Structure 1
Amino acid sequence: MDLDGDGPQRRRRGAELEAALLEAAWAELAEHGYGALTFDAVAQRASTSRSVVYRRWATKPALAEAAITHVGRRDKARPPNTGSLREDMLAILRHTNEKRIGLMALTISFLGGYFQETGTTPYDLRRLVLHDGPTVLDVVVEQAVARGEIAATLPPRVVDVAFDLFRHEALMRLGPVPDAVLVEIVDEIFLPLATGSVRSDP
């Protein structure tokens, strides 16, 4: 069935059609990996023709990059504002643990062929997903400074340390990180570095 051909079905256009194609490409990557990704498989999954996919992305790397960027931005966390730096950081990590863990696992497990073919790294791919401007972590730190929880804007390495540790745990496990580990990362590593103090309560 070709929903984008000349048949009686409603034709998808513009952003709706592109989103359907990228969701199909993401599903193919997640299920079969980069090596097995084909334009025909994406077209079949999206109920359209190969030419519809090909005229938007002329190469397999371009299609994979577009799909990963689409999913990464679709599931991006919004900056929380719970009134507490601790709770804000936990909210970010829990959202990522729930919504973006598949993206992390796929990056390390299924994209080896992509990195070899393009000569890039997971770091390069991550940059494609991020928008320019302040990150969610930057925003919650700025909020904490405004509330007086921390004295000044933190060094970038301190801002990123909780997420870096979370990413390591996720990649080592190739799956979700236990919530108790998220709490340990925030309470035992991030907050002491950010505030210069050690929490005594659990």
Structure 2
Amino acid sequence: MSEDLRRRRRGVELEDAILRAAWDELTAVGYARLSMEGVAERAQTGKQVLYRRWRNRAELVVAAMRHHAASIADDVPDSGELRGDVLAVLHRMTRRFREVGPEVVHGLMAEARDLGPEFLSVMADVMGTILKRAAERGEIRTAAVGRRVATLPIDLMRHEILLSVGPIPENAMTEIVDAVFLPLIRSI
């Protein structure tokens, strides 16, 4: 066995290898057949190493998705207007949906109870940032709105994604923003 194969990986190096292995396993076998054992084997590590970092496969898959394609929270849209920012978030959600496919999204949603509260809070934080910027620009009176109002476009988009097996039509996104969200947020 070579020196490189015997060397123990730790920290970022190990986590990077696991997340790459999880993504590769996900694309090879799909969400339904993905197992912690399969990921561990592909990453050439023990299953217990995975469970020390992620409680279950749903958390591991979300981490692998964020590792493969940066989280929206890493680069919150700033187009200079509320409408453009919210549409940009919805477009990113649909790109992620196309990239991972309905089987993965539907599998994750079926196991959403296995995900920690931080799974959904990421998008609430993104919308909070967008609303704060819009309030600072004077587009809306306040960014201090309830979580349900702030995340309404995200929640409606998730609904579209969950019920969809094909691409999300552009008019669905513009209707969510123009007919539902903007009138509501501007009335507060």
Tell me the TM-score normalised to structure 2 length.
0.76
- Is 2:150 aligned against 1:159? yes
SS in 2 for 1:192: helix
1:98 and 1:173 map into 2 onto residues whose CA distance is: 14
| CA displacement at 1:28 relative to structure 2 | 2.8
- Is 2:39 aligned against 1:42? yes
Instruction: List gaps (5 residues or longer) in structure 1.
Output: 1-5, 116-121, 198-202
2:185 and 2:167 map into 1 onto residues whose CA distance is: 25
Q: Percent identity?
A: 31
Point out the structure with max Rg over C-alpha. 1
The two structures, once aligned, show a CA RMSD in angstroms of 3.2
Gap change, CA 1:100 and 1:150, over 3 Å in 2: same
- Is 2:22 aligned against 1:25? yes
Query: What aligned pairs does 1:189-200 form with structure 2 within 5 A after superposition?
Result: 189-196=180-187
| CA displacement at 1:174 relative to structure 2 | 3.7
- Is 2:129 aligned against 1:108? no
Instruction: List gaps (5 residues or longer) in structure 2.
Output: none
**Larger deviation, residues 158-167 vs 122-131:** 122-131
| Contact residue 82 and residue 139 of structure 2 kept, 8 A | yes
Gap change, CA 1:105 and 1:136, over 3 Å in 2: farther
1:71 and 1:105 map into 2 onto residues whose CA distance is: 16
| CA displacement at 1:157 relative to structure 2 | 1.6
Gap change, CA 1:36 and 1:178, over 3 Å in 2: same
1:71 and 1:156 map into 2 onto residues whose CA distance is: 27
1:70 and 1:103 map into 2 onto residues whose CA distance is: 16
| CA displacement at 1:124 relative to structure 2 | 5.0
1:131 and 1:160 map into 2 onto residues whose CA distance is: 10
| Contact residue 124 and residue 150 of structure 2 kept, 8 A | no
1:111 and 1:132 map into 2 onto residues whose CA distance is: 16
Letter in 1 for 2:39: V
| CA displacement at 1:25 relative to structure 2 | 2.2
Deviations 1:5-51 (A, max 9, x none): x4254755431232221232244345333455251x324433x2xxx
- Is 2:46 aligned against 1:53? yes
2:108 and 2:17 map into 1 onto residues whose CA distance is: 21
**Larger deviation, residues 103-112 vs 66-75:** 103-112
Gap change, CA 1:195 and 1:58, over 3 Å in 2: closer
| CA displacement at 1:110 relative to structure 2 | 6.5
SS in 2 for 1:135: helix
| CA displacement at 1:53 relative to structure 2 | 3.0
1:81 alignment partner, one of 53, 78, 81: 78
Deviations 1:54-74 (A, max 9, x none): 241349x83514422413543
Letter in 2 for 1:157: R
Runs of 4+ in 1 over 6 A off after TM superposition: 131-134
Letter in 1 for 2:49: R
| Contact residue 162 and residue 185 of structure 1 kept, 8 A | yes
Which residue of structure 2 lines up, in the alignment, with residue 184 of structure 1? Answer: 175
SS in 2 for 1:56: helix
| Contact residue 166 and residue 182 of structure 1 kept, 8 A | yes
2:176 and 2:164 map into 1 onto residues whose CA distance is: 16
